[in-house]
Amino acid sequence: MRRPAAGSFAGDSVPGNGSGLQANAAVPVSQKKRPLVLPGGGFFDLSRPLIMAIVNCTPDSFYVPSRAFSPEEAADRALTAEAEGADIVDFGAESTRPGSQYIGEEEELRRLIPALRIFRKRSVLPVSVDTRRAAVARSALDEGADMVNDISGFSDPGLVPLCARRGAAVVLMHMRGTPRTMAAVPSAAPGSGKTAADGLIAEIGSFLRAAAARALAGGIAAEKIILDPGIGFGKSAGENMIILNRLAEIRFADYPLLIGISRKSFIGEITGRAAEDRLAGTVAANAAALFGGAGILRVHDTAAALDLIRIFTALGSRRNGEKG
């Protein structure tokens, strides 16, 4: 199995170079941040935002055009995302849309592993696997995955020691309830003297700090930890907007923030548009996330995200007085 070679990935390359692996000095470099280290010694220096492309190996994801019905189709979509400028591809085989039911481990493996295997034969681009199960993560890491993106915040006790032992990067996410129940989960009480917005930010921050502490205590290096406030996972449209407006208050210890808002229902509630027509709303919300300090955008539409990041990067260059 080929693994990414040691060295810097797309974090210090021009967004959209196709491979995500070749450096190019044309991109303005912002203040240096702690790198995101992957198995095998590869890393992103995070001097510019990264694109994580969604690859759904599922027949029931909420955004119908993203559904893949065969391993070949899923792998082809990942390769297309790479060609459009993705830095990471995120394979997932279990839908987490509101109201969805969990599937069994064998079915998740059946959907995921063949697609990942096909992709890995054709690409060395960093791969994330969206799973809550240690057994599935183990099989994916065996096939060359680099990162585990778990919506449950590592509720499976086997995930932390597995990722620590294998050197995998991890995404720790805040979620209320489960995909089946999260639409009905009430907000946490804000606490004495706090507004509901303050309580929401405190709830997310407390959860993520505890999750990061568990990961560190379990042997996962700080350079391998990514945090996700879980926009859309058990939050109302208003709460999602509060999170976007107050991302800077959620960030801590220089951990990169991953934001996954692509075509989600809160965008539809605000714009009145179906999932298929939410691209403009997604780009606008992702722009707000970038200005709030997001380091990774998880998206269905790689090319649009790339254009956004190019504009955002150019704005930063001009603001810092750089030429370009």
* Helix, strand, or coil (residue 71): helix
pLDDT tens profile 157-199: 999 999 999 999 999 999 886 555 545 555 655 555 578 999 9
Mean of pLDDT values over 5-23: 42
Of the listed 111, 263, 264, 278, which one is catalytic? 264
How much is the mean pLDDT over the chain?
85
Residue whose entry in the numeric block shows the structure tokens 């923030």: 257
Confidence grade of residue 129 (pLDDT, cut at 50, 70, 90): very high
The confidence score (pLDDT) of residue 33 equals 73
| Strongest mean pLDDT among 15-24, 196-205, 312-321 | 196-205
Q: What are phi and psi of 323, to 5 degrees?
A: -95, 150
| Whole-number Å distance between alpha carbons of 115 and 94 | 14
Structure tokens at 81: 């995302």
| Whole-number Å distance between alpha carbons of 224 and 38 | 7
Angle at 93 (CA atoms; ends 88, 97), nearest 5 degrees: 95
The confidence score (pLDDT) of residue 192 equals 56
The amino acid at residue 179 is: P
Q: Which residues contact 145 (CB under 8 A, 6 or more apart)?
A: 91, 116, 127, 128, 129, 137, 168
Of the listed 120, 176, 235, 298, which one is catalytic? 298
264 as an active site residue: the answer is yes
Largest separation between any pair of C-alpha atoms in the chain: 56
pTM: 0.85
Report yes or no: 300 and 54 within 8 Å, Cβ to Cβ. Answer: yes
CB atoms inside a 10 Å sphere around CB 179: 20
151 backbone φψ class: left, alpha, beta (φ>0; ψ -120 to 50): alpha
CA dihedral 247, 248, 252, 257 (to 10 degrees): 40
Residue 302 reports pLDDT greater than 80: yes
Q: What are the structural domains, with CATH classification, of the chain?
A: 39-319 (3.20.20.20)
Residue 267 reports pLDDT greater than 50: yes
Confidence grade of residue 125 (pLDDT, cut at 50, 70, 90): very high
pLDDT tens profile 222-260: 999 999 999 998 899 999 999 999 999 999 999 999 999
33 as an active site residue: the answer is no
The confidence score (pLDDT) of residue 141 equals 98
